[in-house]
Amino acid sequence: MKITAEHLARGAYVYVRQSTADQLVNNPESRRRQYGLAERARSLGWKDAIVIDEDLGRSGSGISRPGFEKLLAAICEGRVGAVLAIEASRLARNGRDWHTLIEFCGLVGTLIIDEDGIYEPRHPNDRLLLGMKGTMSELELSILRARSIEALKQKARRGELFLAVAIGYVKSGRNRIEKDPDLRIREAIDLVFRRFDELQSIRQVHLWLRSEGIMLPAVNYTRAAERAIVWKLPVYNTVHHILTNPVYAGAYAFGRTGSKVTIEAGRKRILRGIRRDRADWEVLLIDHHEGYLSWHDFERNQRLITDNATSKGLVPRGALRRGELLLGGLLRCGHCGRKLHVSYSGSNGNTGRYHCRGA
Q: Active site includes 311?
A: no
* Among 352, 349, 315, 356, CA closest to 332: 356
Element spanning 13, H or E:
strand 11-15
Determine the Cα–Cα distance for residues 143 and 183; give it in Å rounded to an integer: 46
Q: Are residues 189 and 242 in contact, defined by beta-carbon separation less than 8 angstroms? A: yes
Q: Taking each helix axis from N to C terminus, what angle separates 202-212 and 236-244, rounded to the nearest 10 degrees? A: 130
What are the percentages of helix, strand and coil residues in the chain, rounded to 5? 40, 20, 40
Determine the Cα–Cα distance for residues 250 and 179; give it in Å rounded to an integer: 10
The conformational region for residue 200 under phi > 0 = left, psi -120 to 50 = alpha, else beta, is left
Element spanning 258, H or E:
strand 257-264
Considering the candidates 19, 89, 137, 201, report the single residue annotated as catalytic: 19
Cβ–Cβ contacts within 10 Å for residue 295, how many? 14
Whole-number CA gyration radius for the chain: 30
* Among 245, 111, 113, CA closest to 167: 245
* Among 60, 123, 120, 52, CA closest to 95: 60
Which residues are identified as catalytic? Answer: 19
